[in-house]
Amino acid sequence: MHPRAKALGIIEYNNCILVEEYKGKHETGEGYYYRPLGGTIELGEHSTETIIREFQEELGVAVEIVAYLGCLENIFQIENTIGHELIQLYFVCFSNKALYKKDRFTITEGQNISYGVWVPIETFLQVEKTLYPNGLTELLSKK
């Protein structure tokens, strides 16, 4: 298996970021964990295009790229499976400003349904909740 190229969009509002909420096994245990929205970069697609496409596909909303945050290399292991991602990170904003007032977003990806929620950045910085990819919390603490 080869590393995957991914792009994630970080939307910040009132000292919170919009993240997808997962429940299951993860690198540091089992339970809830969080990750910004985005996905795999398709062949021939620029990472900024990935962000725009993924928000449209998963939430049905338009976003605009605000700034490039950086790139992370995330190597992780869950049970006996090793994962390896190269992740382009961007700050983005909703084109429709009314969306910032929503508390919860339904995320549809194929047959899977999950939720996007606003989580205070401080809860990740204080390690009260788990944020992936590895290294993102440190990047957010420097901004």
Report the predicted TM-score, pTM, of the whole model to 2 decimal places. 0.90
Cα–Cα distance measured from residue 77 to residue 24, given in angstroms and rounded to the nearest whole number: 14
When the candidates are 3.90.1170.40, 3.90.480.20, 3.90.79.10, 3.40.50.720, the CATH number that belongs to 4-142 is: 3.90.79.10
Q: How far is CA 101 from CA 13, 97, 105, 138, in A?
A: 10, 8, 11, 27
CA atoms within 13 A on the CB side of 24: 5
- How confident is the model over 22-54, as pLDDT tens digits? 887 776 777 898 999 999 999 999 999 999 999
Q: Where are the domains of the chain?
A: 4-142
- How confident is the model over 90-143, as pLDDT tens digits? 999 999 999 999 999 999 877 888 999 999 999 999 999 999 998 999 988 876
Chain center to CA of 81:
21
